């Protein structure tokens, strides 16, 4: 009988997971799993549990939002043996689950764990810590970790949208240098992100990416020369259909990048919606296929495409 350790955040999303808990455990038990259940007790609890499971269990199951999953990933990546992860999305946005094609219906997600396939996914290293789908700085990146859980439970994506709009008048640029693959970019950026995702907080969109290709997508938004352009760029970042000047955007792919702050004030980062620190130097590395997740259908080079031409144009701006 396979043993699984089930970490769940009962407060994630609209706290709906508790209503399905009995059915989830029943489905796993009927499928032949011996289930140990652990509700999270603190923000670091999932990490502490996940790092010590490698010699006792066959799989880690995580039920919660992107933050809970991120903590589980921290733990598994820090352990001697990396267990496969089954994910039951229960947060407000569940960006990473959407990338993997995992249903937001808890019982359907459980069925994927029971009858699905393992898929290797790239994991990001951020100064030795780990993230599943995004590390970012600048405009609105604080909204994901400063919005109270009860507000996210009630408003979902709208909580992030309202929080971002409330900061429109306070967006400031960050003087940064990015070093990657022998290239150097310097500029005043209002936003930057390193991603392996098609969506960030349900708002920012990324089209054309691979989950397991060994590289991440980097998007940098420069401070506009004319302040009138700023609201237009912000609305585009919030996925409101609006054209922006492509001269302000730099896009490229890399497996390793170093960001150096050139300003006097520290630059705060976010990792998977959680505070990532404010160090002057930050190095991000793509760990190719570092973890396996249970997915409904195993696909090599899992690919999402929508508007690849849109991004190809930006490669010309990288110097």
- Residue 123 in domain: no
pLDDT for 14 equals 64
Domain co-membership, 16 together with 143 = no
pLDDT for 15 equals 65
C-alpha 139/C-alpha 142 separation (Å) is 8
Domain co-membership, 102 together with 246 = no
Nearest CA among 157, 314, 173 for reference residue 244: 314
C-alpha 28/C-alpha 89 separation (Å) is 16
pLDDT for 237 equals 56
C-alpha 170/C-alpha 163 separation (Å) is 12
Domain co-membership, 14 together with 148 = no
pLDDT for 154 equals 39
- Residue 89 in domain: yes
Range of the domain at 232: 131-286+299-315
Domain co-membership, 101 together with 183 = no
The segments of the chain whose pLDDT lies below 70 read 13-15, 92, 139-171, 198-209, 227-228, 230-246, 298-319
The CATH number given to whatever domain includes residue 255 is 2.60.200.40
pLDDT for 174 equals 87
C-alpha 136/C-alpha 113 separation (Å) is 30
- Residue 122 in domain: no
Among 115, 140, 170, residue at a domain's last position: 115
C-alpha 134/C-alpha 124 separation (Å) is 8
Domain co-membership, 164 together with 91 = no
Provide the number of structural domains found in the chain.
2
Domain co-membership, 50 together with 169 = no
Query: What SS3 string covers the chain?
Result: CEEEEEEECCCCCCCCHHHHHHHHHHHHHHCCEEEEEEECCCCCHHHHHHCCCCCCCCEEEEEECHHHHHHHHHHHHCCCCCCCEEEEECCCCCHHHHHHCCCCCHHHHHHHHHHCEEEEEEEEEECCEEECCEEEEECCCCHHHHCCHHHHHHHCHHHHHHHHHCCHHHCCCEEEEEEECCEEEEEEEEEEEEECCCEECCCEECCCEECCCCCEEEEEEECCCCCCHHHHHHHHHCCCCCCCCHHHEEEEEECEEEEEECCCCCCCEEECCEEEECCCEEEEEEEEEEEEEEECCCCCCCEECCCHHHHHHHHCCCC
C-alpha 253/C-alpha 214 separation (Å) is 10
For residue 309, give every residue at least 6 positions away whose Cβ sits within 8 Å of its Cβ, in sequence order, or none. Answer: none
Domain co-membership, 82 together with 139 = no
Q: What is the pLDDT of residues 48-85, one digit of tens each?
A: 999 989 889 999 999 998 889 999 999 999 998 999 99
Catalytic residue, candidates 274, 300, 305, 316: 274
pLDDT for 297 equals 75
274 in active site:
yes
Whole-model pTM: value is 0.79
Give me 185's structure tokens.
Answer: 């970019």
Tell me whether residue 293 is exposed, middle or buried, using C-beta atoms within 10 angstroms of its C-beta: 0 to 12, 13 to 18, 19 or more: buried
- Identify the bridge partners of residue 5 per DSSP, sorted by sequence position: 36, 60
């Amino acid at each position: 009988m396979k043993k699984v350790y089930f970490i769940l955040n009962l407060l994630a999303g609209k706290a709906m997971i508790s209503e399905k808990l009995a059915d989830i455990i029943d489905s796993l038990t009927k499928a032949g799993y011996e289930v140990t259940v652990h509700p999270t007790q603190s923000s670091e609890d999932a990490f502490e549990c996940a790092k010590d499971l490698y010699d006792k269990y066959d799989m880690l199951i995580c039920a919660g939002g992107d933050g809970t999953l991120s903590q589980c990933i921290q733990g598994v990546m820090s352990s001697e043996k990396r267990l496969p992860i089954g994910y039951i999305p229960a947060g407000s946005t569940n960006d990473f689950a959407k990338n993997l094609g995992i249903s937001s219906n808890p019982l359907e997600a459980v069925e994927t764990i029971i009858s699905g396939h393992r898929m290797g996914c790239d994991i990001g290293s951020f100064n030795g810590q780990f993230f599943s789908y995004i590390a970012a700085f600048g405009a609105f990146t604080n909204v994901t970790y400063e919005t109270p859980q009860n507000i996210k439970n009630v408003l979902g994506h709208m909580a992030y949208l309202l929080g971002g709009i409330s900061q429109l008048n306070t967006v400031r640029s960050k003087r940064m240098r990015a070093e990657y693959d022998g290239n150097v970019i310097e500029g005043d950026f209002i936003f930057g992100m390193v991603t392996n995702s098609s969506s960030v907080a349900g708002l920012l969109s990324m089209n054309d990416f691979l989950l397991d290709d060994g590289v991440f997508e980097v998007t940098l938004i420069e401070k506009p020369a004319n302040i009138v352009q700023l609201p237009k760029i912000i609305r585009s970042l919030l996925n409101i259909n609006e054209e922006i000047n492509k001269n302000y955007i730099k896009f490229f792919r890399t497996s390793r990048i170093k960001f150096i702050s050139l300003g006097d004030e520290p630059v705060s980062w976010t990792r998977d919606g959680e505070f990532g620190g404010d160090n002057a130097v930050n190095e991000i590395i793509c760990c190719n296929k570092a973890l396996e997740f249970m997915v409904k259908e195993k696909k090599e080079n899992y690919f999402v495409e929508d508007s690849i031409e849109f991004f190809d144009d930006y490669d010309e701006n990288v110097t």
